[in-house]
Amino acid sequence: MTSLRNLSILAAAAAFSLNLAACTKRNTELETDYATKKASAETLVNQIDSSMATMKADHDQWKAALAADAAKPGADTSKINSLRSDIAKHETDGANINALVDSTKMYMNATPDQGDAFKNADDRLGTNFNDLSDKWKSYQDTHASINQRVQQLAVTTAGAAITDSAKAKTEIKKATPPAKKAMKAEAPKPAMHEHPGVTRNSAH
């Protein structure tokens, strides 16, 4: 009986050891996965945080440029209004990205001793990172596109303003009649004076 009991204890201990080893292996894989995701998320978040201030400055410059374009003669108000609408949407997208950044940061400080919460943080961090990465790439592409359109509009508007100015000068020139040249006054001929008592060609 003692031997059987000892064998049972040994078997139970062996099974516990195997389960513990399995759990340790699973946790190690989870920790490695989490660490990888966290490193990628930190890199992306730092890039976004460092870029947003510069992009905000670009937005302000765009708005000022569009206001200047709108004040010029021959301005394409349709394109200007379209760009203003796209910039407003772009800024809304930027605010949503910042909110997603904050959400991602919430899952970047989990620790293995949190058990199920750690596994949940690993899942959420992966999902948020993928979503943030996609949105950030789209945001950058849109930013570059709007910047190019604003610059092209500035060139087009400046050209239209120069054309309108030249056209206006031409119209003014056509409307003004040419000044008539003053006729040059003919110099008076010297008067012939007769001297009384004098006879020309008189014979002596």
Contact 108, 125 (CB under 8 A): yes
- Rounded Cα distance, 70 and 57, in Å: 20
Taking the CB of residue 140, how many other CB atoms lie within 10 A of it? Answer: 14
Contact 48, 136 (CB under 8 A): yes
* Res. 158 pLDDT band, cuts 50 70 90: confident
- Rounded Cα distance, 125 and 147, in Å: 32
Question: Domain spans of the chain?
Answer: 10-167
pLDDT greater at residue 182 or residue 59: 59
Over the chain, what is the mean pLDDT? 81
Contact 83, 149 (CB under 8 A): yes
- Rounded Cα distance, 74 and 56, in Å: 29
What tokens does 146 get? 């709007």
Name which of 21-35, 116-130, 179-193 the model is least confident about: 179-193
What contacts 30, CB < 8 A, 6 or more positions away? 112, 118, 119, 122
What tokens does 115 get? 């058990």
Q: What is the pTM of this model?
A: 0.67
